[in-house]
Amino acid sequence: MANNSRKRFGPWFVQYNIRSEDGEQATFERANLSKVEMANREMPFANFCGVYKENGDFQNANLSYCLFTDSFLQGADFRGTNLQNTDFSRANLRFANFQNANLQGVDFENCDLSGADFRNAKLLNSRFPGANLKNVFHSF
Protein backbone atom coordinates (compact mmCIF):
# COMPACT_ATOMS: atom_id res chain seq x y z
CA MET A 1 0.00 0.00 0.00
CA ALA A 2 1.32 3.42 -0.92
CA ASN A 3 2.16 5.97 1.73
CA ASN A 4 1.40 9.29 0.05
CA SER A 5 0.72 12.51 1.93
CA ARG A 6 -0.10 15.83 0.29
CA LYS A 7 -0.67 19.38 1.45
CA ARG A 8 -2.58 21.77 -0.78
CA PHE A 9 -2.09 25.48 -1.29
CA GLY A 10 -4.70 26.63 -3.75
CA PRO A 11 -4.71 24.34 -6.79
CA TRP A 12 -1.03 23.36 -6.32
CA PHE A 13 0.58 20.71 -4.17
CA VAL A 14 3.44 22.15 -2.11
CA GLN A 15 4.53 18.91 -0.49
CA TYR A 16 4.29 15.32 -1.58
CA ASN A 17 5.64 12.33 0.31
CA ILE A 18 6.86 9.99 -2.39
CA ARG A 19 6.66 6.44 -1.17
CA SER A 20 5.26 3.34 -2.78
CA GLU A 21 6.02 -0.06 -1.35
CA ASP A 22 3.90 -2.14 -3.70
CA GLY A 23 4.93 -0.81 -7.10
CA GLU A 24 2.03 1.60 -7.59
CA GLN A 25 2.53 4.31 -10.20
CA ALA A 26 3.37 7.66 -8.63
CA THR A 27 1.17 10.55 -9.82
CA PHE A 28 2.07 14.24 -9.57
CA GLU A 29 -0.29 15.78 -12.15
CA ARG A 30 -0.30 19.61 -12.07
CA ALA A 31 1.85 19.57 -8.91
CA ASN A 32 4.25 22.29 -7.84
CA LEU A 33 7.40 20.27 -7.12
CA SER A 34 9.53 23.26 -6.13
CA LYS A 35 10.27 21.86 -2.68
CA VAL A 36 10.40 18.16 -3.60
CA GLU A 37 13.85 16.54 -3.88
CA MET A 38 13.99 14.53 -7.11
CA ALA A 39 17.71 13.75 -7.58
CA ASN A 40 18.69 10.07 -7.36
CA ARG A 41 15.04 8.89 -7.25
CA GLU A 42 13.76 5.61 -8.71
CA MET A 43 10.42 6.62 -10.24
CA PRO A 44 9.87 4.84 -13.56
CA PHE A 45 6.39 5.16 -15.11
CA ALA A 46 5.45 8.17 -12.93
CA ASN A 47 2.93 10.73 -14.17
CA PHE A 48 4.34 14.28 -14.00
CA CYS A 49 1.93 15.87 -16.51
CA GLY A 50 1.65 19.63 -16.09
CA VAL A 51 4.12 19.89 -13.18
CA TYR A 52 6.09 22.99 -12.23
CA LYS A 53 9.74 22.65 -11.18
CA GLU A 54 11.88 25.51 -12.45
CA ASN A 55 15.64 24.88 -12.10
CA GLY A 56 14.82 21.47 -10.61
CA ASP A 57 17.49 18.91 -9.79
CA PHE A 58 16.67 15.51 -11.32
CA GLN A 59 20.29 14.33 -11.56
CA ASN A 60 20.99 10.59 -11.71
CA ALA A 61 17.32 9.63 -11.27
CA ASN A 62 15.51 6.80 -13.04
CA LEU A 63 12.57 8.51 -14.73
CA SER A 64 12.17 6.08 -17.61
CA TYR A 65 8.73 5.74 -19.23
CA CYS A 66 7.43 8.84 -17.39
CA LEU A 67 4.98 11.47 -18.63
CA PHE A 68 6.08 15.13 -18.40
CA THR A 69 3.68 16.51 -21.01
CA ASP A 70 2.75 20.21 -20.67
CA SER A 71 5.23 20.70 -17.80
CA PHE A 72 7.28 23.77 -16.87
CA LEU A 73 10.85 22.53 -16.30
CA GLN A 74 12.90 25.51 -17.43
CA GLY A 75 16.53 25.17 -16.30
CA ALA A 76 16.02 21.61 -15.02
CA ASP A 77 19.13 19.49 -14.43
CA PHE A 78 18.75 15.98 -15.87
CA ARG A 79 22.49 15.16 -15.98
CA GLY A 80 23.04 11.40 -15.89
CA THR A 81 19.31 10.69 -15.64
CA ASN A 82 17.62 7.69 -17.27
CA LEU A 83 14.73 9.19 -19.26
CA GLN A 84 14.34 6.35 -21.74
CA ASN A 85 10.94 6.43 -23.51
CA THR A 86 9.74 9.44 -21.50
CA ASP A 87 7.22 11.88 -23.06
CA PHE A 88 8.03 15.61 -22.74
CA SER A 89 5.51 16.77 -25.38
CA ARG A 90 4.77 20.52 -25.17
CA ALA A 91 7.05 20.97 -22.11
CA ASN A 92 9.09 24.09 -21.42
CA LEU A 93 12.65 22.77 -21.16
CA ARG A 94 14.52 26.00 -21.94
CA PHE A 95 18.12 25.82 -20.69
CA ALA A 96 17.63 22.24 -19.39
CA ASN A 97 20.78 20.18 -18.94
CA PHE A 98 20.65 16.65 -20.40
CA GLN A 99 24.40 15.94 -20.38
CA ASN A 100 25.16 12.21 -20.20
CA ALA A 101 21.43 11.39 -19.92
CA ASN A 102 19.76 8.36 -21.51
CA LEU A 103 17.23 9.95 -23.88
CA GLN A 104 16.63 6.92 -26.10
CA GLY A 105 13.09 6.96 -27.47
CA VAL A 106 12.18 10.26 -25.75
CA ASP A 107 9.41 12.38 -27.30
CA PHE A 108 10.21 16.12 -27.39
CA GLU A 109 7.34 17.04 -29.73
CA ASN A 110 6.57 20.79 -29.67
CA CYS A 111 8.94 21.39 -26.73
CA ASP A 112 10.82 24.60 -26.10
CA LEU A 113 14.40 23.29 -25.86
CA SER A 114 16.14 26.58 -26.62
CA GLY A 115 19.52 26.73 -24.89
CA ALA A 116 19.29 23.09 -23.72
CA ASP A 117 22.48 21.04 -23.35
CA PHE A 118 22.51 17.57 -24.94
CA ARG A 119 26.27 16.95 -24.86
CA ASN A 120 27.11 13.24 -24.56
CA ALA A 121 23.42 12.30 -24.24
CA LYS A 122 22.09 9.09 -25.81
CA LEU A 123 19.49 10.25 -28.34
CA LEU A 124 18.78 7.10 -30.36
CA ASN A 125 15.17 7.12 -31.66
CA SER A 126 14.31 10.39 -29.90
CA ARG A 127 11.73 12.62 -31.60
CA PHE A 128 11.84 16.41 -31.99
CA PRO A 129 8.96 17.38 -34.38
CA GLY A 130 8.01 21.03 -33.93
CA ALA A 131 10.56 21.53 -31.12
CA ASN A 132 12.40 24.84 -30.66
CA LEU A 133 16.08 23.84 -30.91
CA LYS A 134 17.57 27.34 -31.02
CA ASN A 135 21.03 27.57 -29.42
CA VAL A 136 21.04 23.91 -28.34
CA PHE A 137 24.39 22.43 -27.27
CA HIS A 138 25.14 18.96 -28.62
CA SER A 139 28.00 16.60 -29.48
CA PHE A 140 26.73 14.67 -32.52
pLDDT band (50, 70, 90) for residue 18: low
pTM: 0.84
Query: Distance between CA atoms of 64 and 31, rounded to whole angstroms?
Result: 19
What's the pLDDT score for residue 6? 45
| Region 34-51 average pLDDT | 94
pLDDT higher than 70, residue 31: yes
Mean pLDDT of 99-122: 98
Q: How far apart are CA 129 and CA 34, in angstroms?
A: 29
Indicate whether 122 pLDDT > 80: yes
Question: Could you give the CA distance from residue 31 to residue 11 in angstroms, rounded to a whole number?
Answer: 8
Identify the pLDDT of residue 26.
86
Q: Give buried/exposed letters for 94-114 (b at 16+ CB in 10 A, else e).
A: bbbbbbbbbbbbbbbebbbbb
Instruction: Tell me the CATH number for domain 30-140.
Output: 2.160.20.80
